[in-house]
Amino acid sequence: MSRHSIQSGLGGPFGAVVVKDGEIVAKAHNQVTSTNDPTAHAEVVAIREACKALNTFQLTGCEIYTSCEPCPMCMGAIYWARPDRVYYANTKVDAAKIGFDDQFIYEELEVPIADRKLSMTQMMQKEALEVFQEWDEKTDKVEY
């Protein structure tokens, strides 16, 4: 999938596959540049497709195979999807050597919000907390 991505001109050199019970349920390649979607990393696209195919929002019982150690965004998506295991080929150091360096994100996550490079301003907390309270009291919610 990673080679297909670059040879077809559809995205960067990344691919991912989701497997359940020894069967491929989804496969994807990086589609950032071809879809103008910065979240269309191979792992995220594969997770979306696998969840559609399995009609679930959790990938318990699944394994993810990816061409590279997942970036921070993909790691977040993987943790939320809850697969049993992840296998990867290249490391984040390998990716950085060819221009895909996510180290600044890892570092930025450790910086207090007020000191981050991306300005973040809290607003409307009272109104937002009311919605959280409504969710907390909802008796028929689907937990995830």
- Tell me the three state secondary structure of residue 18: strand
Q: Mind telling me the catalytic residues? A: 43
Question: What b/e readout covers 101-130, taking b as 16+ CB neighbours within 10 angstroms?
Answer: ebeeeeeeeeeeeeeeeeeeeeeeeeeeee
φ, ψ at 29 (rounded to 5°): -125, 165
Select from 2, 121, 141, 3 the least CA-distant residue to 65: 2
